[in-house]
Structure 1
Amino acid sequence: MTFQAGGSFDIDAWDADKPYDERDGTKLTRVSVRKTFHGDLVGTSTTELITVESSAGPVAYVGIEHVQGILHGREGTFVLQHSAGSEDGTPGTQWLRWLIVPTSGTGELAGIRGVGQITVTEDGAHTWTLEYSLD
């Protein structure tokens, strides 16, 4: 059975290191992020990102996020793999996707699999959707 979940999250911390690679106007930077989730998932997470910035602004990132919380009444943890970017650094060209890492679920979320998406609203708020199944 496939479930749909959604809500919002707050970014509690965004700790960026100095760029570790800068060439021809492109910067690569490691960022540690902490979030609090609201909605169908109530919980927190820690994330490690590698961001790409060009003359157009922030244009891509990849990351791994460890989520701990309660999803539709089931408590546990799971890991999200991020893939995100923008053609020109603006919200209109953004794509922000999640993949639940198979076998990463624990507790009542053991066996969770699925995909999700982040949307950044015009006021900068973050909403999310998740389509998942449980073995």
Structure 2
Amino acid sequence: MIRRGLFLAAPIAAVIFAAAPLVAAEPVEQIATGAFDVKAAPEGAADAPIGTYKLDKVYHGDLDAIGTGKMLTVDTATKASAAYVAIERVTGTLAGRKGGFALDHVGTMARGTPTLHIAIVPDSGTDALTGITGTLDIRIEKDGKHFYTLRYKIPG
């Protein structure tokens, strides 16, 4: 009698587990930190107060990469008030994964108080960084050295 019950229970359990949908786990946020070097070269004659620049960056640390981009800036008549937007393509290695992604920069300075938002452009990840999402924070120290904190998620 017991043997017959076990044989009946096994097919029922298989049907229950087969019918349950598989749910992909949400990627865990990771943090990459390090320093970076940046060169911003003006392009053409400035159309005051608007300027355009070519960006060249080298990222060190958890992100070992090269960044290239374009930046558009505007100054105002008020000292320490300005804004910039930029698009940057980053290619290299992030935590052992080779690939690239694009960054979207939006920065404002209001009488010396900065607001900065840098985000990974959706669906811009390539190779082992396909699907990457996240944001990048920048810190500039008094001696002019630049540091980054990249908060990101990669599916799979």
TM range (shorter): 0.7 to 0.9
Q: Report what 2:139 is aligned to.
A: 119
Deviation at residue 58 of structure 1 after TM alignment: 6.2
**What RMSD, in angstroms, separates the aligned Cα atoms of the two structures?**
1.4
Q: Report what 1:75 is aligned to.
A: 98
Partners of 2:146 and 2:114 in 1: how far apart?
13
| Residue 35 of structure 2 corresponds to residue 15 of structure 1 | no
Partners of 2:121 and 2:108 in 1: how far apart?
20
Any gaps of 5 or more consecutive residues in structure 1? none
- Structure with the larger strand share: 1
Between the two proteins, what is the percent identity of the paired residues? 36
Partners of 1:52 and 1:125 in 2: how far apart?
23
- Structure with the bigger RCO (C-alpha within 8 Å, sep 6+) is 1
Q: 1:67 to 1:133 in 2, by over 3 A?
A: same
Query: Is the 2:80–2:110 Cα contact (8 Å) retained in structure 1?
Result: no
| Residue 74 of structure 2 corresponds to residue 52 of structure 1 | yes
> Partner of 1:39: helix, strand, or coil?
coil
Partners of 1:130 and 1:14 in 2: how far apart?
21
Q: Report what 1:34 is aligned to.
A: 56
Q: Paired residues, what number? A: 126
Any gaps of 5 or more consecutive residues in structure 2? 1-27
Larger Cα-atom Rg: 2
For normalisation by structure 1, the TM-score amounts to 0.87
